[in-house]
Amino acid sequence: MIHTIGFDADDTLWHNESIFDRAQQRYRALLAKYHPAAEVDRVLFQTEMRNLPLYGYGVRGFMLSTVETAIELTGGAISAGEIREIIALGQEMLAHPVELLPGVAEIVPALARDYRLLLITKGDLHHQERKIAASGLAPHFHAIEILSEKDGPAYSRLLRRHGVAIEEFVMVGNSVKSDIVPVLELGGAGVHVPYHITWQHELGVEVPPNQPRFRKVDRLTELPLLLPGL
């Protein structure tokens, strides 16, 4: 019997990966005279992964990796003016307004009447807090938890802190790797709501077969009918 719903934020409640995607398109265009798009993407992702232990998740680390990659890919030939443009791309991402996904503005307040809602997200503390404030959704959540990583131990600590039994908990999100599998492994329920773009880092993890507490839906508005069966 579900009592508490954990919601991921980026690409579950509001658009995020599409903002990265548009910035990366403009980044590729800036470097097009040096390298084909696929090579730019490959080296950027490599740089991001190399820097992840140092930077963690979020736009500022992405920005630093785009600058570093541009210098590397051009053998130092890129101009300071072009680097300034790359920084401006990231600053636009940080200043981008929060755009809720379809149905979110209705379904979150509706579910808050019957369930305890937790917002569980990872990334930059400062940027996530600004997005949560701008979303207008904060009053519907019992608590907001911004984590540096969303894995089994992190979910365990969080649920213990809020006194939530794992049997009564469902996590809802777009990332199989960060939102679904760690919670299913703990014995909780998971509802996967795919976003049309997934960051390469979040790919490559599958839901194991025969998971009675797992559902996949196209949109969040399917939640109310589905929750009593979890």
User: Is the four-CA dihedral 207, 213, 217, 221 of positive or negative sign?
Assistant: negative
Question: In the set 38, 76, 209, 218, which binds its own copies (CB under 8 A)?
Answer: 76
Which of 93, 94, 97, 90 minimizes the C-alpha distance to 14?
97
5-13, 22-30, 60-68, 206-214 -> range binding its own copies (CB under 8 A) = 60-68
| Among the residue ranges 81-89, 111-119, 166-174, 195-203, the one whose residues contact its own copies (CB under 8 A) | 81-89
Return left, alpha or beta for 36; rule: phi > 0 is left, psi -120 to 50 is alpha, else beta.
Answer: beta
Q: What count of other Cβ atoms lies within 10 Å of the Cβ of residue 53?
A: 7
Q: Does 43 bind its own copies (CB under 8 A)?
A: no
Contacts of 164 (CB under 8 A, 6+ apart): 3, 4, 116, 118
Least distance to its own copies from the beta carbon of 99, Å? Answer: 18
From 35-43, 48-56, 174-182, 190-198, give the range in contact with its own copies by CB under 8 A. Answer: 48-56
Q: Where are the extended beta strands (E) located within 96-213?
A: 116-122, 143-147, 169-173, 189-192
Of 26, 126, 216, 219, the residue at the interface with its own copies (CB under 8 A) is 126
Give the binding site for its own copies (CB under 8 A): 51, 54-58, 60-61, 63-64, 67-68, 70-71, 74, 76-81, 83-84, 87, 90-91, 94-95, 124-127, 129, 146-148
